[in-house]
Amino acid sequence: MLAALNTAGVPVPEERRAAALLLCSEAATNAVLHTGSAGTCFRVRLHAFPGRIRVEVEDGGGPTRPVLVTAAPADEHGRGLGLIDHYADEWGPRATGPGIYYVLTWDARSVTA
Over residues 51-60, the pLDDT tens digits come to 999 999 998 8
CA distance 59 to 100: 8
- Three-state SS at 92: strand
**Percent of the chain's residues with pLDDT above 70:** 94
Domain ranges of the chain: 2-110
Residues 2-110: name the CATH superfamily.
Answer: Histidine kinase-like ATPase, C-terminal domain (3.30.565.10)
**What's the pLDDT at 109?**
86
CA distance 74 to 76: 6
What's the start-to-end Cα distance of the chain, in Å? Answer: 18
Question: What is the overall mean pLDDT for the chain?
Answer: 86
Mean pLDDT of the 107-111 span? 85
Mean pLDDT of the 76-102 span? 89
For 21-46, write each residue's pLDDT tens digit. Answer: 999 999 988 888 877 766 678 899 99
* pTM of the predicted protein model: 0.85
Strand order in the sheet with 43-49: 43-49, 52-58, 99-105, 90-93
Contacts of 42 (CB under 8 A, 6+ apart): 28, 31, 32, 35, 57, 58, 59, 60, 99
